[in-house]
Structure 1
């Protein structure tokens, strides 16, 4: 059923639901639009509404071919909405779900587009804070690029910042999608532009490998991996691309490239990647359910008044909300002692079929079993050796059962 959004827009059809609200296909004075209507509890928060209005100029001024433009912000009674350009296509998560992984050329072309969009945002002092496949849209009506990639646009600018207000989240809480959170956010530092570069590099890794480098299992374990783990090389990609990934996944924010530099470097690599097929990488096994020591599961669940599992918010007709990722999850900042200690191993190392990945709980359990078997066999051999030695020492028989003779064994002759 249609509903009015302010005095200029009409929402006709729900396109998707997400952690922050509902996206509608709408109509405005200039034609079709996407309207993101934020949740009622957000709209009733006067502090958030004030921040919303303060961000109006910055969000409306962010105009770039690879950013979904915000056309208007509506504050009307209980309605708090962002009116955006309607992109006719799908989101990157939907494509990943369908294809599992992309050819390197197409993956790099998509990420280069997004890096261009981020460069414009960072120049305007806007940090996205929630870069992930769900927030990258593919324009199916746009011209095809390298590797047959459709133009990519980054959406949902400002939403994470608007929700993450001091009143709504304590200083000991962080909001974000665990798989893509930069280490400095996990450690409680304020998000700067470098967090977007880390998240975008994580997305590129996911496009190539089919899984994120530090994801899988309990959110607490994921957070710890971001701080303590190193990522292993992906087989089959040029060394230049791998080194670029490593630099942008650096634990130290200052070591990462700027968005503009990343876009240029990625496009320089495109000729080198032409014709390379999608990688053949063995996905991590079911052992990713491991939980980092010291983490309380209840500390890493969404707020009580929000759904436990929340999906993406697609802004395009025909795309379905994602259901296999936690997004905008409220988590406490881990204490230093929880992040300290030796690494757990390589968080998401590619592995041989049927083999546990290095450092995993399953791998450790297998090692323990192997040690127990080895020790058990050694104990059996030791016992056998002791028994044989004792038998020989007490005068055991020879091969035909005759007594062991010696010069003192015969009775003395009278």
Structure 2
């Protein structure tokens, strides 16, 4: 059913819903638009409306070929019913999450081209003092109206404005765990490097089909973000992997700036021509169910990947705290945990984060991997025993001689 948004816009149908509000297909004086109407409780927050009013000029002036432009900002009394709404360019095409779900993994050139464009948009925003704070595939749209898809980053500055601590409330960790930079988790201010970290995570996901530290309860994901190193992707050109590593650095100062990342990625494009999508086994990333997001929550929390643990024989030391997790009769609690081996204690590629593997390569901690370790240890023991027996025989022969 059509509804009026302010005096100049008409909303016709819902395009999508998120934690912050609803996006409508609308019509304005200059043609079709997308209208994001924020939740009623947000529109009723006078402090939030004041922040939007303060940033109005910046949001309206943020223009780049890879940014979804904001055409108008309706602040309460300017919109019918007191709505707080952003009128944006209409992008004809899916978001990157839908595209990735259909393709599972993207060829390196396509993935790098998408991320290079978004990095260029981030560079312009950062120069204007705007931090996105919620870079993820859902907030990257693909304009398919031209000969080649063009990636555009949307919701610029909205997360920052909405998620700022309100007066009289305590600030907390807000965002999407899989893409959250370590400094946010540690309570430090969100600066431009948090967007670089999130965008590098998106690039990793486009190439691998899963994020470097995702899987399981959100608390486990946040811990990995701070303590673990991303597993290397087999078959990826070394120059590209080094670039991803640098932008996933735990220290914000070690990451590239957005303009540098965009430039470096574009330089790599010619070398990526013709390379197919990576051929990886990622049982740990398969069939992760997402728990429906409760009203007002910052992010949906993934259920524990019980199916992925079936191969391991012994589940990870985790309790299914999230709704939708499959109960495990032999679930491990904090009072009864198996002792991790040396490789798991090393963290990163041999720890609890998801690991990219070539076909035929056993997953660390799996039954096949454990059996291989036992066979190697047995072989070493037998060889050592044989060597000791040979030495004793030689000593005996010398004594008799």
Change (3 A) 1:10 1:304: closer
> Which residue of 2 is the match for residue 349 of structure 1?
355
Task: Determine helix, strand or coil for the equivalent of 1:173.
Answer: coil
In the alignment, what sits opposite 1:16?
16
Judge which range, 343-352 or 27-36, deviates more. Answer: 343-352
2:42 matched to which residue of 1?
42
Query: Which of these two proteins has the greater Rg computed from alpha carbons?
Result: 1
Any residues of structure 2 matched to 1:279-298 within 5 Å, and which?
279-285=278-284
Residue 219 of structure 1: CA displacement?
0.3
**Corresponding position of 2:257:** 258
**Contact 2:14/2:23 (8 A) holds in 1:** yes
The equivalent residue for 1:173 is 172
| Deviation sequence 1:319-370 (CA, Å, 0-9, x none) | xxxxxxx9xxxxxxxxxxxxxxx66443121236687643x6x679969x97
Q: Which residue of 2 aligns with 1:394?
A: none
Q: Secondary structure at the match of 2:173?
A: strand
TM-score by length of 1: 0.73
Find 2:93's aligned residue among 89, 96, 119: 89
Deviation at 1:262, TM superposition (A): 0.6
Query: 108, 114, 125: which one pairs with 1:104?
Result: 108
Aligned 8 A contact 1:18 1:310 in 2? no
Confirm or deny that 1:54 pairs with 2:58. Answer: no
The SS at the match of 1:176 is: coil
Structure 1 pair 137/194, CA: closer, same or farther in 2 (3 Å)?
Answer: same
| Residue of structure 1 equivalent to 2:274 | 275
TM-score relative to the length of structure 2: 0.75
Q: Identify if the C-alpha distance between structure 1 residues 302 and 103 changes in structure 2 by more than 3 Å, giving closer, same or farther.
A: closer
Unaligned runs of 5+ in 1: 145-149, 290-299, 312-325, 327-341, 375-414
Matched residue, 1:184: 183
Q: CA deviation at 1:277?
A: 0.4
**Deviation of residue 165 (structure 1)?**
2.4
Question: What per-residue deviation string (whole Å, max 9, x for no partner) do you get for residues 217-272 of structure 1?
Answer: 10000000011001122111211111011111111111111111111110110110
Structure 1's 243 and 43: CA in aligned 2 closer, same or farther, altered over 3 A? same
Question: 1: CA distance between counterparts of 2:101 and 2:361?
Answer: 24
Flag structure 2 segments of 5+ consecutive residues without an equivalent: 303-321, 323-344, 379-401
1:129 aligned residue (107, 128, 133): 133
2:114 touches 2:151 (CA, 8 Å); kept in 1? Answer: yes
CA–CA distance in structure 2, aligned partners of residues 135 and 22 of structure 1: 14
Deviations 1:371-404 (A, max 9, x none): 9xx9xxxxxxxxxxxxxxxxxxxxxxxxxxxxxx
Deviation of 1:142 (Å): 2.4
Structure 1 pair 236–344 and aligned structure 2 pair: CA distance change class (3 A): closer
Q: Is the 8 A contact 2:2 2:11 kept in 1?
A: yes
Give the Cα separation in 2 of the matches to 1:239 and 1:98.
Answer: 27
Tell me the residue number matched to 1:158: 157
